[in-house]
Structures are given as C-alpha cells and as structure tokens.
Amino acid sequence: MGRHGTIAGRKAAQDAKRGQIFTKYARAISVAAKSGGDPEYNVALKHAIDKAKAINMPNDNINRAIQKGTGELGGEAYEPGIFEGYGPGGVAVIVDVLTDNRNRTASSIKHAFDKHGGNLGVPGCVSYMFERKGILLIEKIDAIDEDSLMEAALDAGAEDVLIHEDSFEVQTLPENFNAVSDALKQAGYDFVEADVEFVPSIEATPGESEMKSLRKMIDMLEENDDVQKVSHNCAVPLDEE
C-alpha cells in the first residue's frame, strides 16, 4: 500500500498520540488564525479546524487556539519551517515544523537524524524528489461505489484516484484541494485524512535493519512538539513490522 500503510495502522498511531496531536493541531490553528479568526473567510484556518475535528479535538481547545492566533489570548508566536535530510537506507525525509525557537528545533531535529544513522542536509537536498499534492484518503467500505467516487472526484477537479487495499486515495493539485474536498464532503464522503502533502516521485527501499532505525528516527521526530509532519519516500509502510 506504499507510504500510507493501512487505515487501521494510521488510526492506531493517531490514538496512541492523540494528546500530542492536539498540541500540534492547536499550533497550526493559531498560526492560520493570524490571518483572521473566521474560517468562512480564512481557508487555511478552515482546513486546520477540519483536521482537528477529524480527530475529535474538543471545541474549547480549538477556540482557545483561534484566540491565541488572533491575539485575544496571550501565547507564543510560532513560525513555519522545513528541514530536509536522509534517513537510514538513503530514505529522503522532509520535516515540517512550527516553532517559537528555530535554533532549539534545528538542534533537536539534527539529534534525531544523527542518533539513528541519518544525515540532516541543506534546503533543497531532497525536496526535488517530491511533488506537492492534495491527498484525500477515504476508507474502503461496502457503501462506497468505486465508479461513483471516481466520477465525483474527477468532476470536482481531482487529478487521479488510486485504489489501495483498504482505502481510496484522491489526488489533487494543491490549488484544487479545497474545492475537491468540499465537493466530496457535500457528496457524503468522509475522510480518514485530508491534507496537502509531499508525495515522492522516487522511492527508496531500505533493508530490514535500516527499517528499524528509520522507524525509530521517524518516531523521535514525530514526538517533537515542534514537528507538524514528517514526509518520506520509503516504499515500505512504517506500520509494517
């Protein structure tokens, strides 16, 4: 199933890190809310709130995050950043962060790479192996007709619909992501995950021992509160032992 793994694996990982994910999503909401606290007029904020609600983040948490972003409540000022490098087995890794202290974050990320046999590189060293695409994952259930979903997605402006073992993966251009997402929601489809991601155009397949080190490195990065998302080009799902 490629880099996404299975729906069950993704849900299990989210459940195990729910509190930590709340912290990350609150930061994303606060940063988006700097451009306006009304999601009807702020697409980035609407998207951040939708992601938070998808994992059942409490409304109080969402509202506090918005108020911090608009300045109604005090809080840290977070700025986005991207780090790039290679993990074990030559796997390309991109780390998206929101941080209030870039030096601290850079040191922590370098430590995670170094500890597990990776190498933190310079900007652009691996991003050329990825494309930015909107990805909408829909769980494959009996109630969903494959042809109907494909027609709805393509009519809404999607680039492609990939069929996996237990999910449908709708791919869009980044600029069409919101339109396709809204159209599929209105058509009654629910998303397991929906985001604009780095999608690899070249994949790497590490050996068994390298996979163990890669999993540990990715886990260490994802446990860092400053890290929003870790993208990689490993052809083997990380939730497979």
Domains of the chain: 2-70 (1.10.10.200), 79-128+202-232 (3.30.70.980), 130-200 (3.30.70.980)
Nearest to 62 by CA among 49, 79, 76: 49
Give dist(CA 175, CA 155) in Å, integer.
Answer: 15
Q: How many percent of the chain have pLDDT more than 90?
A: 77
Task: Tell me the whole-structure pTM to 2 decimals.
Answer: 0.86
String of b and e for 18-37 (b: at least 16 CB within 10 Å)?
Answer: eeebbebbbbbbbbbbbeeb
Please say whether the beta carbons of 194 and 158 come within 8 A. no
Please say whether the beta carbons of 241 and 216 come within 8 A. no
What is the crossing angle of helices 43-54 and 177-186, to 10°?
50
pLDDT band at residue 123 under the 50/70/90 scheme: very high
Please say whether the beta carbons of 161 and 135 come within 8 A. no
Q: What is the mean pLDDT of the chain?
A: 90
pLDDT of residue 5: 65
Q: How many percent of the chain have pLDDT more than 70?
A: 91
Residues comprising the chain, all counted: 241
Give dist(CA 117, CA 126) in Å, integer.
Answer: 17
Please say whether the beta carbons of 84 and 121 come within 8 A. yes
Say how far residue 173 (Cα) sits from the centre of its chain.
16
Extended beta strands in the chain, E state: 79-86, 92-99, 119-120, 130-139, 160-163, 167-172, 193-200, 227-232
User: What is the tens place of the pLDDT at every residue in 39-93?
Assistant: 999 988 998 998 898 888 999 999 999 999 998 887 778 899 999 999 999 999 9
